[in-house]
Each structure stands twice: as C-alpha cells, then as structure tokens.
Chains A and B, each alone.
Chain A
C-alpha cells in the first residue's frame, strides 16, 4: 500500500508539472495583456510595469522562473490585487468553494443513490418513470439555469433562502442545490441501471432463497454491488462540480475560487490563473486517488495487494 501510494504521489507531481507547463503556454496565447487601461498608459509606463512583473523577459525564461518559484511554494503576486500573494488569495477563498462543492457532492450522490435504488426496486412502475424523468432533467438542465430558477422561486418568491452573498449555512443551500443536481441525476441514473442488473443476478436469487426479506436483500447484497461502478463516475462528477462552481459562484456572488478564476481569466491575471489551475488539478488528482483507494475497500476483487503476509 505504501509503495502504491508513493507511486501515485509521484504520478500526481508529474501530472501537476504537465498541467503547469501546458497552462502556462496556453495562457500566453491568450489575446490581451494584464493591463486594464492600456490605452491610457504611455509606452514607458507599460515598460516599467512589465519590468516590475518580469513580463518583458522571453517566455521560456518566465516559465523557468515560475517553475522555480512554484517548487518553493511561491506562486507569485496577483496582478489584479497588488501586494496580494496568490497563495493567500487562494487560501482565503478556497473555504466557501470547498464547502459548497463537498456539500453538493455528498447531498447529490446520497440522494441520487436513494432515488436510483428506488427506481430499480420499482422497475417499470411510475416510481421508476419519475426517477428517470428527474435524472434526465438533472442531467440536461445546466447548473446556472437551475441556479437562477432557484434564486427566483425559493429565494425571491418564497423567501426561504437568501438570494446571494455569503454568511453562514443558510447561504449555502441554494448553491448546493444548484451544483448538486448534476451529481444527483448522474448517480441516480447510474445506480438504477446497475441495480436493475444486480437484482437479476444469481447471487440475489440465492439471497432470496436464503429467506432474506426484500429490504434485507437490497441492503445486504444489492446495494454494495450496485455502488461499485458508481465510484468510477465520482471523478467526472467532481470535475462537473468544479466547472459548475465557476458559474454558480458568480451567480450567487460567493467569494470562492471559482468566482476568482473567472475574474482572473477576464483580466489576464497570469499568476492567479496559474495558481488556481494548479489547485483545481491537485483537487482532481486527489479525488481520483481517493476513488482508486475506495475501489479496493468496496470491492474485494480489486483490493490493492502488496501485503504478501
């Protein structure tokens, strides 16, 4: 296990290196400059600013300098907010994003599993049809559309939740719902299909022949076996939530890294874009590592062996 982890961490670093390289050069291809009112600045002023931020150096030099800094944990200073190191910018804003992301993931997947399991148990009844419709809607409605609808109906009309801003759990409800719809729908669809399959398998027949009740069969045998493939889509779902959060955080004015990322791209804030990209890639890598370890825990057939006791 330790050997496996070491290997995975090495790959993680390698992945981050590739991500940094690709993002760095892609970013340089973006049109525009980090200067907001370039027209009003004189040539020498621009030159001075470029000098200050090291932007007049050749691109490959900038790249090497950036790498050298990154290794030491220095991701530079934001162009947008002068004197704010990127690392501080991120650490002060990652809290809300993580909270909403995790809430959306947990709520979405748990509800999705329940809905999907119900659909499979009541296969070809109205319950099943309802779950299918819910998951199709969840998959096809983009989170930003849902966000606006939630704001209007639950926030403005019903007045149950604050429409936007940040300040406590109640503020997280609507963004969580908006972001959680997709994982909910995906996992419901996935679990339903899987469980229909599992329920017709021989070992379920044997479990019934043992005299287990319907709920006993589902709880002890069907659920775990249906959940294994669900782990596969946790990675893609996490990506879904990350990209969704960029828009949803803007809609709800949440001071998170998603909102910051959009701003940074719009203003060519190179160090912040780089820093956030690294953070996103790192989170995704960690999610994938966790899912791989989870696989082994849930499914004994692919337990990571290395323990030749």
Chain B
C-alpha cells in the first residue's frame, strides 16, 4: 500500500442495522482504497451496500446503524473515531456528496444562491455577500446559463439537469478532497446523463478531487471510472482497473452484470439476466453469498467464503474459481469475447504498459 497516494483507506468495515427482526448485516467486511485524483466506481445491484458504505464514510447513517468493526482512514485519522462535531467540519469541506435525485435534494424554500453559498458560510465563516459572489462563480463553472439573474431563483424554477448542476455546485464549492457521487445520473434522462457525467469529469480535472462513484449502471462506469469495485450482498467481490473489470472479469457475478448490460452488439436476442434475488442479509448464507444464483458454483462455495485471489497487481476477485485446484470453466460467450478483445489490447500495448499501481496489502481476508 502506498500511503502517499491513498487519500481514503477503508478497512474491514462492517455495518449492521438493528431492526426488530434482527441485525441486518448490510456491510460485511469491506476494504478499499481511494487514490488521489482517481475515480473509483462502486457497482452493484440495489441493496448491495453501496450507499451504506458512503453514508458510513460521511457519518450520516441512520440511527439504527451499528458499525461493528473497521477503520476509515482519511489524512491519517480514523473518521469512525471522530465526534459528530468534528464530522460536521469534514462534511461539505473535505468530503462532499452528490445525491441521486436532484428533484428532491434541494431545499424548495431557499434561493439556490444561498444554498450553494451555505457551505462557504458554514466552513469558511464567510459573510453572505462574499459567499454569494463565490456561489455565482461556481454557478457559471457548472454551466448554469444567465447565472446572475438566476441566483435568486428557487429550485422549482429549474429543470432536473440544471438542479443536478446546482447540487454539484454545492458539493464542489469548497473544493473537497473527496466527492461521493451516489447514483448522480440515475434520475436523469439519458442525454442529460451524458452532460452531467462530462461536467463531473471536467470539474474533477479543474479542482483535482477524488471521486467515489456509486452506480448500478455499468454503462456509466466505463466512461467515468479509473477503477471499479463490484459489490454483492454487502461485500466487494471483485475489483480492478476499469479495463480489467470490463474485459477480463473473473467473478461470476461480474460476468452476470456484464452480460446483462445491453451493448451495441446486442441483437434481437433476449438480454441475459442473473436468476434469483440477492440473499437476505438478516441471515447471510455461509460460504459465497452469490452461490445460490451462480451457475458456476462449486461445492466449496456453499461451505467456505472465498478469499481474494490475485489476478494481476491491480485486479483481485473473491471466487473459488481462481483457486489453482478449481476446475476450468468457460465463462458466458459474451465474456469470452470480451476477454479475447482484452488479450488483443494487451498484445498491442506490449511494453507500453502503465506503471503498475500499488496494490492492496490484504490479498486474502480471513
């Protein structure tokens, strides 16, 4: 692990939600790093624990959340050990968040200029006039036309895409080190999605922030992310660079996700889907949580949890299929095609390979 390049290190995070039915184990031993300036995508279906992970980082979990173990190191300090007061100083200043639905994430009764200026007033103790002037600059930066006249407008006077730009302006006004984007384009239509994604990339370069990008849409990931972590049932099951995940996936769940994503090559055939539903996290199954839905499941999958196996310096997957003793299986056709493409890409690259990015220490979890 390279401490200088990592801005955020999440280790062995476990979060339970106390309910009347029992403890829901929403996050089950999650570890990942976020590097300076990179975009890390966390991908998974609904309920896989993506949002809970980010809420935990922000310290904004619901009251019945119980963080049973883990550390979240930011600038050498554990965010989980910080008091509420200290977290208030970090939120909106060092770590900011963009939410999913721009239609509901702005205060309907406050002028948007004031909403954008608020983090400045809270963290920098700025006077309202000065903060508003800076908010105006930010509005221009995120591409709100006629910003001077619109600064005193209310959210309902803006379209969804414009509102998401405002939410982005709020998040970035203090030039945060880390930006958490929780499905920022899910509620927008496709053309607006592209605009917002482009805007985020552009601004990331300008203010050099690291982004944790939460999404269930792999199509969005391809254009945005440097690295990808795939989550399933409260665990990360595979992570690697965006090329590795897209063209050389190893975990059967990633195969399923990729196969069920429509591409330009997808013809009139039926789009494959992953059968079954995610497991009940009140009582997670022993072994690999994905085993029940996995056509390639081995006997050991139902007995013992797979550790992370190393595929490359940057690519790890938690599946027994990578064990040396495991039988060779052929992934779905689509994946084989992807892997072929990847092999060709690697050949073309020959020795122009990128400098290997430092690797996580804990290759294997207990």
Q: Tell me if A203 and B105 are in contact (CB < 8 A).
A: yes
- Is A197 located at the chain interface by the 8 A CB criterion? no
Output the nearest chain B residue to A303 by Cβ-Cβ distance: B154
- Is B49 located at the chain interface by the 8 A CB criterion? no
- Is A157 located at the chain interface by the 8 A CB criterion? no
Q: Which residues of B contact A224 (CB under 8 A)?
A: 109-110
Q: Tell me if A211 and B107 are in contact (CB < 8 A).
A: no
Q: Which residues of A contact B122 (CB under 8 A)?
A: 210-212, 216
Q: Which residues of A contact B106 (CB under 8 A)?
A: 203, 206
Q: Which residues of B contact A213 (CB under 8 A)?
A: 85, 88
Q: Which residues of A contact B167 (CB under 8 A)?
A: 206
CB 8 Å contact bits of B91-110 with A (1 = contact, 0 = none): 11100110111001111111
- In the complex, what distance in Å separates the CA atom of A201 from the CA atom of B107? 9
Residue of B89, B96, B154 near A300 (CB, 8 A) is B154
Q: Count the A residues whose beta carbon is within 8 Å of the partner chain — how many?
A: 23
Q: How far is the CB of B260 from chain A (nearest CB, A)?
A: 29
Q: How far is the CB of A99 from chain B (nearest CB, A)?
A: 32
CB 8 Å contact bits of A187-209 with B (1 = contact, 0 = none): 00000000000000111011111
CB 8 Å contact bits of B291-303 with A (1 = contact, 0 = none): 0000000000000
Chain B contact patch, size range: 20 to 34
Q: Which residues of A contact B93 (CB under 8 A)?
A: 211
The answer to whether A210 and B91 touch (CB under 8 A), given A202-B99, A301-B154, is yes
Q: Which residues of A contact B126 (CB under 8 A)?
A: none
Q: How far is the CB of A120 from chain B (nearest CB, A)?
A: 14
Q: How far is the CB of B52 from chain A (nearest CB, A)?
A: 14
- Is B119 located at the chain interface by the 8 A CB criterion? yes
- Is B40 located at the chain interface by the 8 A CB criterion? no
Q: How far is the CB of A95 from chain B (nearest CB, A)?
A: 37
Q: Which residues of B contact A210 (CB under 8 A)?
A: 91-92, 96, 118-119, 122, 170
Max count, chain B CB within 10 A of own CB: residue among A210, A214, A224, A225: A210
Q: How far is the CB of B111 from chain A (nearest CB, A)?
A: 8
- Residues of chain B at the chain A interface (Cβ within 8 Å): 58, 60, 84-85, 88-93, 96-97, 99-101, 104-110, 118-119, 122-123, 154, 156, 167, 170-171
> What 6 A-B pairs come out closest when comparing CB atoms?
A211-B92, A210-B92, A211-B91, A202-B104, A202-B105, A300-B154
14 contacts between A and B (CB under 8 A): A202-B100, A203-B105, A203-B106, A203-B107, A206-B106, A207-B118, A210-B122, A211-B88, A211-B122, A211-B123, A212-B88, A221-B110, A224-B110, A301-B154
